């Protein structure tokens, strides 16, 4: 069992109940965190609101870099912790930990940078002998709410930019995977972050998360999770800044001239990484009719060779999904597809929360398996005859997070980049490719168009103050 340390011990003194965390593969209890209630959420807001802290750029830079080094040095045990609470394979969680280290290092660099601007006022007949300057100031108190699918990296993507901009944060991680979040907070305190700048709190969402979201003492809610919960937050948050990073349904368009080994490789990574539980995971593989049979045969063959099973085995490629009920929903969506014209090429076996990597062919847009966000390791092949049809199929979804195209025909590639209604388009790479400080985020039901990624998140967590000074030119 994980001993998640002193924050939990401190909260234990007031907690009447506990949230137990189970390993989705073994069903063992791997840790527990105190369950807070509405009163505790209100108290957290009061405490954080009252705190007065200000770190210099140098201090923020140092803390973030120390956190990166700490997590890098402890990567094995942190990966194992995430694997134990999420069922994600060690291969996936090691990757996640490395990404989190990048987030912290990029935030450390950005903490040093001042983005002030200067506007000389002699540029207009209405001007004066003055200069206008800008400076960024922190918002003050931010609420961060995170999902289960990247238990550490989703948290780091909210807390690191908040530290870099001198904001205070109350973090409400997923009840299904809170252990990495608590471990991360301990690392932050150990590395010198004042406790008044970060508080982690867990509990029933109606009591805890909604109290935090509704509070008029909070300047911003940054949320990553499902579209349904994102819409609920938008409805109840009131007058405050919102970042909403929501569900996805990415398409991978495979053009007629695509190199098949490359296309299959991208599809495998795009569909199956993180057990298919990524907002950017490829949900529809749109393949030109002329190459679809060969593509499907190659993808099915690769899928049959994938090692799935015990997530803690370092050679496992695909671990479990988050729990048995999630695996059953995936199984049901696949079954419904097979009942109405879809063809099974590989997989579709379930034991508890473990669902075998699966390939379906002859999928149609109306099949639930692609019409909904089927959050698991299922590759769905849909065929197209023309680029117009492919683009229209890719856009036939409420989501607008990311997409990708594989091939070489530049006019087609350019049309895909321009016409996909998504926040990201990758060419000859999976939709999920990004750097941790490049802009990331979706449109339509995937988000309001505001971006994350370290730099954009820092902008969203600050406001720009303008001030002007007398200034005789030249």
Judged by CB under 6 A, the residue of 24, 31, 151, 225 near ligand NAP is 225
Active-site residue list = 245, 279
* Helix, strand, coil in percent for the chain, rounding step 5: 40, 25, 35
Judged by CB under 6 A, the residue of 121, 175, 234, 338 near ligand NAP is 175
- Peptide bond preceding 239 in cis form (omega within 30 of 0): no
**Strand pairing report for 443-444 and 462-470:** unpaired
**Strand pairing report for 118-120 and 130-138:** antiparallel
Binding span for ligand NAP by CB under 6 A among 90-98, 141-149, 180-188, 262-270: 141-149
DSSP for residue 318: B
Minimum CB distance to ligand NAP, residue 225 (Å): 3
Collapsing DSSP to helix, strand or coil, 250 comes out as: strand
Measured CA to CA, the distance from residue 216 to residue 210 in angstroms comes to 12
Q: Does residue number 248 form part of the binding site for ligand NAP (CB under 6 A)? A: yes
Report the candidate in 383, 469, 355, 452 with the shortest Cα–Cα distance to residue 161: 452
Minimum CB distance to ligand NAP, residue 407 (Å): 26
Q: Does residue number 226 form part of the binding site for ligand NAP (CB under 6 A)? A: yes
Minimum CB distance to ligand NAP, residue 102 (Å): 16
By CB under 6 A, the count of residues binding ligand NAP is: 30
Judged by CB under 6 A, the residue of 85, 96, 245, 317 near ligand NAP is 245
Q: Does residue number 249 form part of the binding site for ligand NAP (CB under 6 A)? A: no
Q: Does residue number 337 form part of the binding site for ligand NAP (CB under 6 A)? A: no
DSSP for residue 335: H
Token pair in block for residue 270: 């795009």
Q: Which residue has the tokens 């499907």?
A: 296
Measured CA to CA, the distance from residue 417 to residue 412 in angstroms comes to 9
Count CB-CB contacts under 10 A for residue 262.
14
By beta carbon distance, the residue nearest ligand NAP is: 225
Q: Does residue number 224 form part of the binding site for ligand NAP (CB under 6 A)? A: yes
**Strand pairing report for 282-288 and 378-384:** parallel
Binding flags for ligand NAP, 41-70, as an x/- string (CB under 6 A): ------------------------------
Site for ligand NAP in 264-303 (CB under 6 A): 279
Site for ligand NAP in 192-211 (CB under 6 A): 205, 209-210
Judged by CB under 6 A, the residue of 32, 105, 172, 284 near ligand NAP is 172
Token pair in block for residue 364: 């149609």
Q: Which residue has the tokens 């990757």?
A: 95
Judged by CB under 6 A, the residue of 90, 145, 193, 337 near ligand NAP is 145
What are the residues binding ligand NAP (CB under 6 A)? 145-149, 154, 172, 174-176, 205, 209-210, 213, 224-226, 229, 232-233, 245-248, 279, 373, 375, 401, 442, 446
């Amino acid at each position: 069992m994980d001993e998640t340390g002193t924050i939990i011990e401190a909260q234990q003194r007031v907690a009447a109940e506990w949230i137990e965390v189970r390993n989705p593969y073994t069903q063992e209890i791997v840790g527990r965190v105190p369950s807070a209630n509405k009163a505790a959420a209100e108290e957290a807001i009061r405490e954080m609101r009252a705190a007065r802290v200000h770190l210099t750029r140098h201090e923020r830079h140092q803390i973030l870099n120390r956190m990166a080094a700490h997590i890098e040095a402890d990567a094995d045990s942190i990966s194992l912790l995430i694997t134990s609470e999420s069922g994600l394979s060690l291969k996936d969680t090691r990757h996640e930990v490395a990404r989190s280290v990048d987030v912290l290092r990029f935030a450390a660099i950005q903490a040093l940078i001042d983005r002030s601007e200067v506007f000389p006022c002699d540029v207009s007949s209405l001007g004066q002998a003055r200069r206008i300057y800008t400076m960024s100031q922190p918002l003050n108190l931010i609420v961060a709410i995170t999902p289960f699918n990247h238990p550490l990296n989703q948290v780091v993507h909210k807390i690191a930019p908040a530290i870099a901009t001198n904001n205070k944060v109350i973090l409400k991680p997923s009840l299904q995977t809170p252990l990495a979040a608590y471990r991360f907070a301990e690392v932050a305190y150990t590395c010198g972050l004042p406790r008044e700048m970060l508080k982690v709190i867990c509990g029933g969402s109606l009591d805890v998360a909604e109290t935090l979201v509704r509070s008029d003492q909070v300047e911003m809610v940054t949320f990553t999770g499902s579209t349904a919960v994102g819409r609920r937050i938008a409805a109840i948050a009131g007058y405050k800044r919102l970042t909403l990073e929501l569900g996805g349904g990415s398409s991978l368009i495979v053009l007629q001239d695509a190199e098949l080994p490359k296309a299959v490789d991208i599809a495998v990574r795009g569909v199956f990484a993180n057990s298919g539980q990524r907002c950017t995971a490829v949900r529809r593989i749109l393949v030109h009719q002329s190459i679809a049979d060969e593509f499907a045969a190659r993808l099915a063959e690769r899928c049959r060779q994938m090692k799935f099973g015990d997530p803690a085995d370092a050679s496992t490629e695909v671990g479990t999904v988050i729990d048995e009920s999630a695996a059953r929903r995936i199984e049901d969506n696949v079954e419904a597809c097979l009942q109405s014209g879809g063809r099974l090429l590989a997989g579709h076996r379930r034991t508890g929360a473990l669902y075998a990597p699966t390939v379906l062919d002859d999928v149609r847009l109306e099949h639930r398996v692609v019409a909904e966000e089927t959050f698991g390791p299922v590759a769905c092949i849909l065929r197209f005859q023309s680029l117009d049809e492919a683009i229209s199929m890719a856009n036939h979804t409420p989501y607008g997070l990311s997409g990708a195209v594989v091939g070489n025909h530049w006019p087609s590639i350019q049309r895909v980049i321009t016409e996909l209604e998504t926040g990201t388009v990758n060419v000859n790479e999976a939709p999920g490719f990004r750097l941790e400080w490049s802009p990331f985020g979706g449109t339509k039901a995937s988000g309001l168009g505001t971006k994350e990624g370290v730099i954009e998140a820092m902008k969203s967590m600050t406001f720009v103050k303008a001030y002007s000074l007398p200034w005789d030119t030249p």
